Amino acid sequence: METQDKRIWLTFDDGPSPQVTPWILSVLKKENVKATFFLLGQQIEEFPKLTDAIVKDGHTIANHSYSHKNGWLTNKGKYLEDIESCQELMPNNKLFRPPYGKITKSQIAVLKKKYKIILWDVLSYDFQQNTSAERVQENIIKNTKAGSIIVLHNNTMSFKNIYPILAKTIQQLKKEGYSFSATW
């Protein structure tokens, strides 16, 4: 995002997750950082108390669709319906992140009337099983600049790669003069 200062946005996709979300929240609280959680509707329904905990801690929640459909592989009507099913669970939300970052021009044309579509410029690759936590951290540190939007994942598949590095990465970014925002 455009910014004159060294403000960045830390985002977490795919939650909430009972195995991962409480831990992420504890790290963010300890580091005094606010983040944005792009949540799945089916996860919100299954774990409403975790969604409430994210909001209670002062973080932003946003729409990541109900069931993580790929916009390139889903017809427009079904894709939009899936997004609205999630939106019903967070009626004041104005943010949407397409799963996989895959969205068609016709889907964008409809969605941008109601949402600010948030993509990213720093993909952590924490979801890749053949990578290491150290490579995830190195990738984030190397590619972050003023205005960066960093994507991490709030799920069990990515946990092995974020567990060892989340606090250290936040601390390193702070040392480099970055501040964290959850305001869009």
Active-site residue (options: 59, 82, 126, 153)? 153
Query: Among 146, 150, 134, 81, which residue's Cα sits nearest to residue 111?
Result: 81
Residue 13: active-site member: yes
Residues 128, 158: contact at Cβ < 8 Å? no
Residue linked to tokens 């959850």: 182
| CA torsion, ordered 149, 150, 154, 158, to nearest 10 deg | 150
Residue 59: active-site member: no
Element (H, E) at 122: strand 122-123
Active-site residue (options: 13, 14, 82, 126)? 13
Length of the chain: 184
Residues 6+ apart with CB under 8 A from 175: none
CA 142 to chain centroid, in Å, comes to 19
* Enzyme catalytic residues: 13, 153
